[in-house]
């Protein structure tokens, strides 16, 4: 016989109905979850969502046997309701404390603690078959994963061995794209880092299949010496060596131009001169981007 639990107040009442140890109770008609019948849980800790307490011994608990027509909540079957119930044995306060300290699991076949999922050897998992801890996904050996089959940490994607990935099948970290061995990629299949394009072995590419860095095109091994600034060609070295005002580096809120303009409010005369001295500076282009007329 499976073991189920029911919580009561200290007088062994539930919703005003008085229960007695060893007695059996019935209602007429079919039970309804959260509506009609005798409710029970498959683990003692699950009863706390219906009987929250400051101290576990504020309640009393009993091992019960549901009888007759039985309905379980889907898909977890954590809780159920029946049109008949037998109060097999009321637990002592000491037994309740020991039960919670030993397991705190609502799932099955867990060797760790505080698991609501099944077959976990780690702790605090709501998913299944995790050897790590605090996973809501399944088959994770790392921690704090909401995805599946992760050996890294804090992944919301699947099949990651790195950490903090929202994409899938990454061995690097902090990727939102898929199949990256590098880190901080939003593109796919990159071995470099910070790529928004795909299949790059270099870094910071928005294009594809580049072995160098900072390329928007494809299949490049040498970084271009010319970039576009204010819609015009510019030597990369000239742009990199140019002094740039601090207000250009701002945190973006809900509105890009508004954030730009708020940052510009702190600009000094020196900052504005730096802006005007940028390569290819064009006041109309700057206004179109920022909404600021200089």
Q: What is the torsion angle, in degrees rounded to the nearest 10, for the CA atoms of residue 153, residue 159, residue 161 and residue 165?
A: -50
Give the Cα separation of 276 and 270 in Å (integer).
Answer: 10
Q: Given 57, 86, 102, which residue is the final one in a domain?
A: 102
Tell me if 8 is assigned to some domain: yes
Give the Cα separation of 38 and 107 in Å (integer).
Answer: 22
At 9-47, the pLDDT tens digits run 999 999 899 999 999 999 999 999 888 999 999 888 778
State which residues form the domain around 48.
4-102
Q: What is the pLDDT of residue 174?
A: 87
Check: CB of residue 215 under 8 Å from CB of residue 202: yes
Tell me if 284 is assigned to some domain: yes
Tell me if 253 is assigned to some domain: yes
Question: Does the predicted TM-score (pTM) go above 0.85?
Answer: no
Q: Given 102, 121, 142, which residue is the final one in a domain?
A: 102
Question: Using the 8-state DSSP alphabet, how is residue 92 labeled?
Answer: P
Tell me if 74 is assigned to some domain: yes
Across the range 228-240, mean pLDDT stands at 94
**Dihedral pair phi/psi, residue 293, rounded to 5°:** -95, 120
Tell me if 277 is assigned to some domain: yes
Q: Given 54, 70, 102, which residue is the final one in a domain?
A: 102
Please tell me the total count of domains within the chain.
2
At 168-190, the pLDDT tens digits run 888 888 888 888 898 889 999 88
Tell me if 30 is assigned to some domain: yes
pLDDT of 104 > 60? The answer is no
Tell me if 245 is assigned to some domain: yes
Residue the block writes with tokens 């091992």: 63
Tell me if 11 is assigned to some domain: yes
């Amino acid at each position: 016989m499976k073991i189920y639990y029911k919580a009561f107040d200290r007088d062994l009442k539930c919703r005003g109905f008085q229960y007695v140890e060893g007695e059996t109770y019935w209602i007429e008609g079919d039970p309804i979850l959260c509506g009609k019948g005798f409710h029970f849980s498959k683990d003692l800790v699950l009863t706390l969502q219906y009987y929250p307490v400051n101290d576990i011994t504020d309640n009393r608990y009993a091992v019960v046997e549901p009888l007759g027509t039985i309905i379980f909540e889907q898909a977890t079957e954590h809780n159920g309701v029946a049109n008949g119930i037998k109060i097999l044995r009321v637990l002592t306060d000491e037994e309740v404390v020991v039960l919670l300290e030993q397991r705190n699991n609502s799932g099955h076949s867990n060797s760790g603690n505080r698991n609501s999922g099944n077959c976990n050897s780690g702790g605090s998992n709501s998913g299944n078959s995790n050897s790590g801890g605090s996973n809501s996904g399944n088959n994770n050996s790392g921690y704090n994963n909401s995805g599946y089959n992760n050996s890294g940490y804090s992944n919301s994607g699947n099949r990651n061995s790195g950490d903090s990935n929202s994409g899938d099948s990454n061995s690097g970290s902090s990727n939102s794209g898929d199949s990256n061995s590098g880190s901080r990629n939003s593109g796919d299949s990159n071995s470099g880092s910070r790529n928004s394009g795909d299949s790059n072995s270099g870094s910071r590419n928005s294009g594809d299949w580049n072995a160098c860095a900072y390329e928007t095109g494809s299949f490049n091994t040498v970084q271009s010496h010319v970039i576009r600034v204010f819609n015009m060609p510019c030597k990369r070295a000239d742009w990199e060596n140019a002094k740039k005002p601090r207000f250009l580096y701002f945190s973006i809120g809900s509105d890009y131009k508004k954030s730009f303009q708020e940052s510009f409010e702190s600009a000094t005369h020196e900052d504005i001169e730096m802006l005007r001295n940028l390569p290819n500076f064009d006041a109309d282009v700057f206004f179109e981007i920022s909404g600021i007329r200089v």
